[in-house]
Amino acid sequence: MYAVSIVPRTTSCRLSSAFFCHLSIPLTLGLHHHYQHQQPHLTSLSFQIRSLRKQIDMAAQGGDSYEEALAALSSLITKRSRADKSNKGDRFELVFDYLKLLDLEEDILKMKVIHVAGTKGKGSTCTFTESIIRNYGFRTGLFTSPHLIDVRERFRLDGVDISEEKFLGYFWWCYNRLKERTNEEIPMPTYFRFLALLAFKIFAAEEVDAAILEVGLGGKFDATNAVQKPMVCGISSLGYDHMEILGDTLGKIAGEKAGIFKLGVPAFTVPQPDEAMRVLEEKASESEVNLEVVQPLTTRLLSGQKLGLDGEHQYLNAGLAVSLASTWLQKIGKLEVPSRTQMSILPEQFIKGLATASLQGRAQVVPDQYTESRTSGDLVFYLDGAHSPESMEACAKWFSVAVKGDNQSGSSGHLVNGSAGSSHDKWSNETCQQILLFNCMSVRDPNLLLPHLRNTCAKYGVHFKKALFVPNMSVYHKVGTAADLPENDPQVDLSWQFTLQKVWESLVQSERDGKNDGESNGNSEVFTSLPMAIKWLRETVHESSSATRFQVLVTGSLHLVGDVLRLIRK
């Protein structure tokens, strides 16, 4: 055991108490860089010393609290509407100026990046890919969006959200340097651009072996597209979303997504609608990109294991992840890793990576612990951030299959990622009631989303007893934490929620003639706040018989899903 003493540079700023000036490091620590031919203990010791020195330097840059950092980050959010078409491009070349100001130009060139765009499934694909590579022993960095509860969710190191101490250190280093060096010609970066730059800084300083980057919006003008030479690119399923920015046809949307293709860099995609696939193939040809179409994984390839992310659609995302991960592994010298087409059963590390992957707010089931009692009913939340017509269908199918399987098995515990299941021994379809808790952004068309959701559920024999419409608690102009969510806002504008309710009621009315679909009068309700809706659900459960289970589908917005998670976990 060696004791390493490090003396930080003199600074007037207060250092975080979490950073130590003395660190004991065992010589047996593992090797992150498997393809470097150095003695493991020396490499690891050297890395730990550099990492600690960087953390101390970073901590000296910043403010006193996490809340101060969130306030500074909030100041970068522009007040422009998402539908403002002047956002397109928005001086994309500035991203390269920021990289220069942060001295990240060389680091980003050396970074071994996997870059993924798409309309739906790109976050899940990135999560699967990261988990596979990590299970081969490599140090990973994963950048995804949006976050649900805490902004630190966007930055994962070795599969874990970055610590508050490290986040603060890197945040203030980047923020203060940009504040000092920007001007009228090169203004401070906007919110998402700053987060992408912060991800580049974190992954460079932490010396990750693989950086997995999820595109925020589109591809061509996304801040993550500052990466000029990724190892491999992926395009997940394409559909109609963000049309006010990306275009009103699948071809235009595909063209924006294909903007991440780089000269000679291999790329993979999943089966796409013909119009989208034609454009992807054209763009690939222009960039001399070998574009391969991969099929969904089969259960045979997984050797009987289940995916860590629930839902049939995840087999498509997992198939794309397998191709991305195997290509990355082969390119860095893991020659024993076969290509996807050569696999009859996936290697053990792939199976473990796919089976243990986790991502909040995607086909997630959480029982409400406040209502678990033998003297009242049962309340279970099914959360999925679907917000496009295609993802609504996938969400509805997952929910329908999940609630039926849940009811037959007698417990929600098997679906809950380690959460405790219900105490009840048995549930039947007759004693279960499905309720919808919904909101979506006003730029989306509820006349597309709600029919897809309702009709798909109906195909599986699932009918909602009631639909609840609520405004989001989190606001788009501020980054916050669970502690600062408002309980109620008397000034809240509910006009959009009443619009959603009207669409829902029209669907119900059109299906009522001569049908008994399990629904009754009082089909829907608008609540002034999410806490009020949760309160109503809990009171309804307590007033019900102990033989009733309430299964609540929360969907339409990842912001809504995050707000619900914050509330039920308080």
The fraction of the chain above a pLDDT of 90, given in percent, is 64
Position 197 scores a pLDDT of 98
The CATH number covering residue 147 comes to 3.40.1190.10
CA 238 to chain centre: 17
Confidence band (pLDDT; 50, 70, 90) for 424?
Answer: very low
Give the CA count within 13 Å in the CB-facing half-sphere of 410: 4
Q: Assess whether pLDDT exceeds 80 at residue 17.
A: no
Closest C-alpha to 211, from 156, 138, 154, 141: 141
Confidence band (pLDDT; 50, 70, 90) for 219?
Answer: very high
Position 336 scores a pLDDT of 79
Give the CA count within 13 Å in the CB-facing half-sphere of 507: 25
Position 488 scores a pLDDT of 63
Give the predicted TM-score (pTM) of the model: 0.83
State the average pLDDT over residues 467-485: 72
Q: Assess whether pLDDT exceeds 80 at residue 421.
A: no
Q: pLDDT digit string (tens) for 363-400? A: 999 999 877 655 556 899 999 999 888 899 999 999 99
Q: Has residue 415 been placed in a domain?
A: no
Dump strand ranges (E) for 150-271.
Answer: 155-157, 160-161, 210-214, 232-235, 267-269
Give the CA count within 13 Å in the CB-facing half-sphere of 203: 32
And the tokens for 459? Answer: 């195909």
- Domain containing 333: what range? 91-356
Q: Which bin fits 218, alpha (ψ -120 to 50), beta or left (φ > 0)?
A: left
Contact (CB, 8 A) for 510 and 519:
no
Q: Are residues 330 and 186 in the same domain?
A: yes
Position 19 scores a pLDDT of 38
| Of the residues 294, 324, 356, the one at which a domain ends | 356
Q: Assess whether pLDDT exceeds 50 at residue 418.
A: no
User: Is there a binding annotation on residue 214?
Assistant: yes
String of DSSP letters for 228-243? SS-SEEEE-B--S-SH
Position 487 scores a pLDDT of 61
Total domains in the chain come to 2
User: Is there a binding annotation on residue 145?
Assistant: yes
User: Is there a binding annotation on residue 487?
Assistant: no
Contact (CB, 8 A) for 517 and 459:
no
Q: Are residues 309 and 389 in the same domain?
A: no
Dump strand ranges (E) for 262-391.
Answer: 267-269, 291-293, 364-367, 378-383
Position 3 scores a pLDDT of 43
The fraction of the chain above a pLDDT of 70, given in percent, is 75
Closest C-alpha to 541, from 365, 364, 380, 408: 380
Decide the pairing of beta strands 155-157 and 140-143. antiparallel
The CATH number covering residue 558 comes to 3.90.190.20
Q: Has residue 74 been placed in a domain?
A: no
3-class secondary structure, 65: coil
Q: pLDDT digit string (tens) for 178-207? A: 999 999 999 999 999 999 999 999 999 999
Q: Has residue 346 been placed in a domain?
A: yes
User: Is there a binding annotation on residue 84?
Assistant: no
Q: Assess whether pLDDT exceeds 70 at residue 463.
A: yes
Q: Has residue 104 been placed in a domain?
A: yes
**Residues shown for the chain:** 570
**Which residue did the predictor score with more confidence, 40 or 557?**
557
Position 342 scores a pLDDT of 73
User: Is there a binding annotation on residue 53?
Assistant: no
Q: Are residues 368 and 352 in the same domain?
A: no
* Phi and psi torsions of 395, nearest 5°: -65, -45
